[in-house]
Amino acid sequence: MILRDLRIDPARLTSRVERLGKIGALEGGGVCRLALTPSEKLGRAHLVAEMTALGLDVAIDPIGNIFGTRKGRSEGPAVMLGSHIDTVATGGLYDGALGVLAGLEVIATLNDGNIETDLPVVVAAFTNEEGARFAPDMLGSLVFVGGLPLAEALDIISIDGKRLGDELQAIGYAGTDQGPEEVAAYFELHIEQGPVLEDEAIAVGTVLGVQGISWTELTIRGRSAHAGTTPIRLRRDAGLAAARIAAGVGAFVRAMGEDQVGTVGAITLTPNLVNVVAEKAVMTIDLRNPDESLLQAAEAKLAALIEQVAGEETVTIERRTLARFQPVDFAPTLIEQVDGTAKALCLSTRRLFSGAGHDAQMLARIAPAAMIFVPSVNGISHNITEYTAPADLANGANVLLQVTLKQALPTNGEDA
Amino acid sequence: MILRDLRIDPARLTSRVERLGKIGALEGGGVCRLALTPSEKLGRAHLVAEMTALGLDVAIDPIGNIFGTRKGRSEGPAVMLGSHIDTVATGGLYDGALGVLAGLEVIATLNDGNIETDLPVVVAAFTNEEGARFAPDMLGSLVFVGGLPLAEALDIISIDGKRLGDELQAIGYAGTDQGPEEVAAYFELHIEQGPVLEDEAIAVGTVLGVQGISWTELTIRGRSAHAGTTPIRLRRDAGLAAARIAAGVGAFVRAMGEDQVGTVGAITLTPNLVNVVAEKAVMTIDLRNPDESLLQAAEAKLAALIEQVAGEETVTIERRTLARFQPVDFAPTLIEQVDGTAKALCLSTRRLFSGAGHDAQMLARIAPAAMIFVPSVNGISHNITEYTAPADLANGANVLLQVTLKQALPTNGEDA
């Protein structure tokens, strides 16, 4: 019974979010904690201090992932609660931070109740989930599950020209520890970052999986020329080619319907001057779909578009895949536990796919994994106006607490 | 007779071009002397030294235009030979520099021949003709002819955020002198920067005028959002709007035929990240046509395109005119003198319009003005591979020398 009555402290959780949110805070709201920058280093130091204060054993692995472990009665596999604390350049207070801080709140609640679990409970913060500074995104969790060799990851160059391994050293988070050897279950509480839950006035989202993601970078090379004297027929305009591809992506994505999304978020022209035909353009294309075959269809449309534009504008186009992840389905047993727990707590819930990539999709490669969503006001994220109400944060954290107990303390978990 | 036999020194002219070309030289060829930068300051110092060595009285006016005067028998109006020495970021050795250096070569030739002219001959180098760092282009000559108030010009902010007046002070070229009070005639020798003369194997182009130019800057504001979770229908994507406008300009310009050119040379997205829908885009559109009514038609198409895209992408678009010049016709009498002189020198010639903007179109507001073109290899300019053969440079400079004499020494000019 005690476990069903057990609840996290809403005010304390909100305070955790606000305190981390002050680190890297932007004028006018929001935060900038791009991976492995000085401001993210401060965020990491804050997190480690909080973990230590809660009595957790802190471990830093070689890619900079931070693990805080609360011992269980047995040495068994760990129940892991995690996410990330890096943000995009103009990010909010909740994306990533909530999953880590709610994990700390669960630990604090277990400590207050003097509850000893059978299995160890680990709070994890993974490196460079956003991919805003180093591609690919979800890099720390990808390395943790063995999906990317450490040496390869350390050699990745950031958008500002720095080597990941050097930046890790510079901020002092090139660790020598190892993360948990075995994971019994992984739970990640996250804001939806989309409009669905708010639109339908639903408290908690039970996440079925994550849509597939395909990131492509194009380097288009034409010829620089005078904007006034070079007849159109003699031009090799890299800027026009980039614009036609970006507009074309917008068109075929719209035509594919609601489940398909596509974004050209970055276009950089050289020399980028008003009266000079661009000789070079570098651009990115982000394509996502929950259905692998439809995602491949979108990729095929992009390939055809690139070939057509390269031919018509007589430019050369070099392609590089920055990231490619197939859609991921979460563990049915954990999905049922999240759904059942929400109902047991009298919270409205619905099942949905995640539109964004999350560390949970990497952990799903080595352990049963699931996610819990809470509403995002106006569905806005990756934006300084990102917001989720305190009551919604608490609802999600209480579901996280109960499913954690179901996994880490299965005996009493049953009647919880 | 002597005057008809008078010729410039081809080797000396080529050497002048090569020596100035070493200032701001780029690896792999070409030069970068963006207006009022340290490298352009060095170019100005070199020019002033050359003028002084040739016995010219050097004057710097308040916008930084440089005038080197060779006195005539009378105090009459000046015959001016000019152009500019600033370049685009990846420019060549000839655009602008040729007109100024050929002017010096004309002076040197007059000095060698101990030829005293009736009217003073002035070599002029105008500030910021390219407009690559400060908009509008042809700024120094525009201020000189009274087309833009000095105070307004000094307050213009560069693409790198600097105030023009402060940059002039910083390089020491905020002069206190005045340029010539009256201009009898203005001649500008320039590379064609287009492919026509080379394609038709013609030595010298007689320029009829300059096509009209319309520069517009757009600031597009949408809403930053997560690239994975925000359904297309809920987006306000500034990047997509910019791409659609750039692609649309490319399409309607092609449809308008050979005389119409249009360029989107600069697009800057914010935050310019792979997984964030751009909240802001700043872009430029450069439209040119030798026919004012057709140029206005192109501007109307652009306006309609902007309105359509703003509505369909639910973004706001703010317009700013960076520059607007109507087509300019040069002085018929000078056009005839250039054409007749080329023929008298046994040089093949043809009449054509200039596709680029030049200081001559500003001078045409206050004096009879004309231009002489020489071929550009592959029609390439605003590019490090810009090249014109020494023999072509000499042909153009000899025409410049003879028309200068026709204006500055009309008596003997007749039989020259």
CA distances from A238 to A215, A224, B240 (A): 20, 9, 17
* Peptide bond connecting A77 to the previous residue in cis, omega within 30 degrees of 0: no
Which pLDDT band, with edges at 50, 70 and 90, does A168 fall under? very high
Buried b / exposed e over B80-113, threshold 16 CB at 10 Å, is bbbbbbbbbbbbbbbbbbbbbbbbbbbbbbbeee
Alpha carbon of residue B67 to chain centroid: 17
Residue A31 at interface with chain B, using a CB cutoff of 8 Å: no
A157 to chain B nearest CA, in Å? 15
Residue A311's CB is within 10 A of a number of other CB atoms, namely 10
Chain A residue with Cα closest to B386: A225
Q: Sign of dihedral through CA atoms B343, B403, B393, B211?
A: negative
Which pLDDT band, with edges at 50, 70 and 90, does B30 fall under? very high
Structure-model confidence comparison of residues A357 and A141, the more confident one: A141
Chain B residues inside the 8 Å CB shell of A29: none
Residue A402 at interface with chain B, using a CB cutoff of 8 Å: no
Which pLDDT band, with edges at 50, 70 and 90, does A3 fall under? low
Regarding an ipTM greater than 0.85, the answer is: no
Chain B residues inside the 8 Å CB shell of A87: none
Which pLDDT band, with edges at 50, 70 and 90, does A415 fall under? very low
Which pLDDT band, with edges at 50, 70 and 90, does A208 fall under? very high
* Residue-level pLDDT at A234: 84
Chain B residue with Cα closest to A323: B274
- At B237-256, the pLDDT tens digits run 999 999 999 999 999 999 99
User: Taking Cα atoms as reference points, which of B57, B77, B53, B76 lies closest to residue B67?
Assistant: B57
pTM of the model: 0.71
Question: Is residue A52 pLDDT above 80, yes or no?
Answer: yes
* Residue-level pLDDT at B366: 97
Chain B residues inside the 8 Å CB shell of A247: 240, 243-244, 246-248
- At B191-214, the pLDDT tens digits run 999 888 998 899 999 999 999 999
* Residue-level pLDDT at A4: 61
A88 to B273: CB separation less than 8 angstroms, yes or no: yes
Percent of chain A with pLDDT strictly greater than 70:
98
**Cβ atoms A139, A63 nearer than 8 A:** yes
* Residue-level pLDDT at B380: 85
Chain B residues inside the 8 Å CB shell of A271: 88-90, 265
Q: How many CB pairs under 8 A join A and B?
A: 269
Mutation target vs B (from A276, A309, A353; most B CBs, 10 A cutoff): A276
Which pLDDT band, with edges at 50, 70 and 90, does B356 fall under? confident
* Residue-level pLDDT at A117: 96
Which pLDDT band, with edges at 50, 70 and 90, does B4 fall under? low
B275 to A382: CB separation less than 8 angstroms, yes or no: yes
- At B255-301, the pLDDT tens digits run 999 889 999 999 999 999 998 999 999 999 999 998 999 999 999 99
Question: Is residue B412 pLDDT above 70, yes or no?
Answer: no
Chain B residues inside the 8 Å CB shell of A207: none
User: For the residues of A255-282, what is the DSSP string, one character each?
Assistant: HH-TT-EEE---EEEES--TTEE-SEEE
Q: Considering chain A, what is the average pLDDT of its residues?
A: 95
A137 to B275: CB separation less than 8 angstroms, yes or no: yes
Question: Is residue B325 pLDDT above 70, yes or no?
Answer: yes
* Residue-level pLDDT at B415: 46
Q: Distance (Å, rounded) from C-alpha B358 to C-alpha B354?
A: 8
Chain B residue with Cα closest to A262: B227
Contacts of B45 (CB under 8 A, 6+ apart): none
* Residue-level pLDDT at A5: 84
Chain A residue with Cα closest to B246: A243
In chain A, positions 53-112, which contact chain B (CB-CB < 8 Å)?
Answer: 88-90
* Residue-level pLDDT at B138: 95
Give the mean model confidence (pLDDT) for residues A347-356: 92
Q: Binding site annotation covers B382?
A: yes
| Burial (CB count within 10 angstroms: exposed 0-12, middle 13-18, buried 19+), residue A203 | buried
Q: Which domains does chain B have, with CATH numbers?
A: 3-210+327-408 (3.40.630.10), 212-325 (3.30.70.360)
Mutation target vs B (from A275, A313, A387; most B CBs, 10 A cutoff): A275
* Residue-level pLDDT at A230: 85
> In chain A, helix, strand, coil percent, each to 5?
40, 25, 40
* Residue-level pLDDT at A66: 98
* Residue-level pLDDT at B126: 98
Question: Is residue B413 pLDDT above 80, yes or no?
Answer: no
Percent of chain A with pLDDT strictly greater than 90:
88
Which pLDDT band, with edges at 50, 70 and 90, does A381 fall under? confident
Which pLDDT band, with edges at 50, 70 and 90, does A111 fall under? very high
Give the mean model confidence (pLDDT) for residues B69-85: 96
Q: Considering chain B, what is the average pLDDT of its residues?
A: 95
In chain A, positions 321-340, which contact chain B (CB-CB < 8 Å)?
Answer: 322
B406 to chain A nearest CA, in Å? 30
Question: Is residue A116 pLDDT above 50, yes or no?
Answer: yes
Chain A residue with Cα closest to B210: A228
Least trusted range by pLDDT, from A64-73, A165-174, A379-388, A407-416: A407-416
